[in-house]
A and B are shown apart, each in its own frame.
Chain A
Amino acid sequence: MIRVTLPAHLRKLAQVDSEVKLDVEGEVTQRSVLDALEARYPMLRGTIRDHTTKKRRAFVRFFACGEDLSHEAPDAPLPQAVATGAAPFMIVGAIAGG
């Protein structure tokens, strides 16, 4: 079970109160986690990564285990603690004013 935390605006769109728990098939990567997230919460499509190119939106960051994973390859394995559910995969709005 993968744990994903969302920023407040996206929690509201997805109508969830707290972190999301997802089953992810196969290797746990950014892409597989986001695919599972968007499959379960389709209203989030386009809000985290582009509809078509699947590139991360510029002001969205991915953190886990105290590390910034935003610039890791989408198919790179996420940390073991994320894969086991011990630590959440954090989707965060960049601090850029607003």
Chain B
Amino acid sequence: MSGVRVLVGTRKGAFILTSDGKREKWEVSSPHFAGWEMYHLKGSPADPNRLYASQSSSWFGQIIQRSDDGGKTWHQPGTPPGEPTTTPDGMPKGESNNFVYDTSPESGKPLTTHQWYDGTAHPWEFKRVWHLEPSLTDPDTVYAGVEDAALFRSTDGGKSWRELAGLRGHGSGDKWAPGAGGMCLHTILLDPSNQGRMFVAISSAGTFRTDDGGKTWRPINRGLHSLYIPDPTAEIGHCVHRIAMHRSRPDVLFMQKHWDVMRSDDAGESWREISGNLPTDFGFAIDVHAHEPETIYVVPIKSDSEHFPPDGKLRVYRSRSGGNEWEALTKGLPQSDCYVNVLRDAMAVDSLDQCGVYFGTTGGQVYASANAGDNWAPIVRDLPAVVSVEVQTLA
């Protein structure tokens, strides 16, 4: 019997929601890492029992956690589950928490400052891991997008991390500036048809692409237009909130920007706006139907600064035409007095025959639709504020 496992990161712990393929009855785990900010959890496509989690705290910094049994038990990589961690032998070395920016001469262009909100130079300071993206083929390889924006890679199951310094050092890094949420690398997309190609997005710098496995990078922001930077069409400075792709068409990218929903049909070489009839083109989350590459989802949010749904109505918008023409999906969602937000990593889809769509809110609800968005129901209503939602489709 097939099933789904929903990995939910919240401001105060992680939760795992499980159901069979009908997606009607759900089990909600007790909190993992209670009290910690769980920015992201994600499973390996190559081994669904291998999960990675970013556990962080303003007090105590960044911890990387790993599960090898589908989330039943967790450990800091380097120490097998259940093994004593306080003996001299077999203890973790703390290296799995160690994210150090590469300023070595070998990286070519040591970079020490980026722009601060006021345009002055500001030193790069590691704060947390926003997003973990496991390799499509190797459970031990995983990428981490961090704040202050940089990309790290582990090839030993999260035990140690090394920066892919060509991203920060490609030439524009000293012009990157933080968005309201900080200067974070929040999206990592791996091209399933081209092992060397990946895309990342940074608030507030833009979107970048590598074609050589992360060694060299270049900005891909042509067509973006942002009125909050001096030159609205500049190569750098766009507050991209998230990008998404369908694995069958990796050259087609969809973007939710800080205003404007955008599309690229040439792997980011150029972008065009597809906001169409959306009630507002601001939002954070965007995702693609598992089986229909032209069906996309966004959750319009009112801005500036309000960051809740327009008119107090929580509506997912779906386009079946790859953008421009959008329909509101409201059945089962609150249509009055709703003032929650849906953050950038808080929407995901499963790949069952009837595509399931999931999203979490800052009000602690996780909603699911087992029929591609036509009808919605809450899986759980009262979690801490939801930061991220990922879904694993289990055989």
Contact = CB atoms under 8 A, between A and B. Distances in A.
Contacts of A10: 60
Contact of A43 (B59, B91, B100): B91
Given A15-B85, A16-B86, A43 B94 contact: yes
B158 to A, nearest CB: 13
A98 B35 CA distance: 9
B66 to A, nearest CB: 13
B86 A52 contact: no
B196 to A, nearest CB: 31
Interface in A3-44: 7-10, 13-16, 38, 40-44
A93 B36 CA distance: 13
Contacts of B35: 8-9
A40 B86 contact: yes
Given A43-B91, A51-B98, A93 B85 contact: no
Contacts of A42: 91-94
B59 A59 contact: yes
Give the size range of B's interface with the partner. Answer: 20 to 34
A16 B61 CA distance: 19
Given A9-B35, A46-B94, A52-B100, A41 B63 contact: no
A84 interface: no
Given A38-B94, A43-B76, A45-B97, A93 B60 contact: yes
Interface in A43-98: 43-48, 51-52, 57-60, 93-94, 96, 98
Interface string B54-72: 0001111111000000000
A42 to B, nearest CB: 4
Contacts of A60: 59-60
The prevalent SS among residues of B at the interface is loop
B98 A9 contact: no
B377 to A, nearest CB: 32
Interface in B73-121: 76, 79, 84-86, 91-94, 97-100
B59 A44 contact: no
Contact of A93 (B59, B76, B98): B59
A48 B91 contact: no
Nearest to B62: A46
B86 A41 contact: yes
A51 B91 CA distance: 17
Interface string B24-68: 000000000001100000000000000000000111111100000
Contacts of A48: 60
Given A43-B92, A45-B98, A46-B94, A9 B86 contact: no
B94 to A, nearest CB: 3
Contacts of B61: 46-47, 57
A44 to B, nearest CB: 7
A15 to B, nearest CB: 5
Contacts of A14: 85-86
A40 B59 CA distance: 21
Contacts of B59: 7, 9, 57, 59-60, 93-94, 96, 98
A45 B94 contact: yes
A67 B93 CA distance: 32
Given A93-B60, A94-B59, A46 B93 contact: no
Nearest to A48: B60
7 contacts: A7-B59, A13-B63, A43-B92, A44-B94, A48-B60, A57-B61, A59-B59
Given A51-B99, A98-B58, 16 more contacts: A7-B59, A8-B35, A9-B35, A9-B36, A13-B60, A13-B76, A15-B86, A38-B94, A41-B85, A43-B79, A43-B94, A46-B61, A58-B58, A60-B60, A93-B59, A98-B59
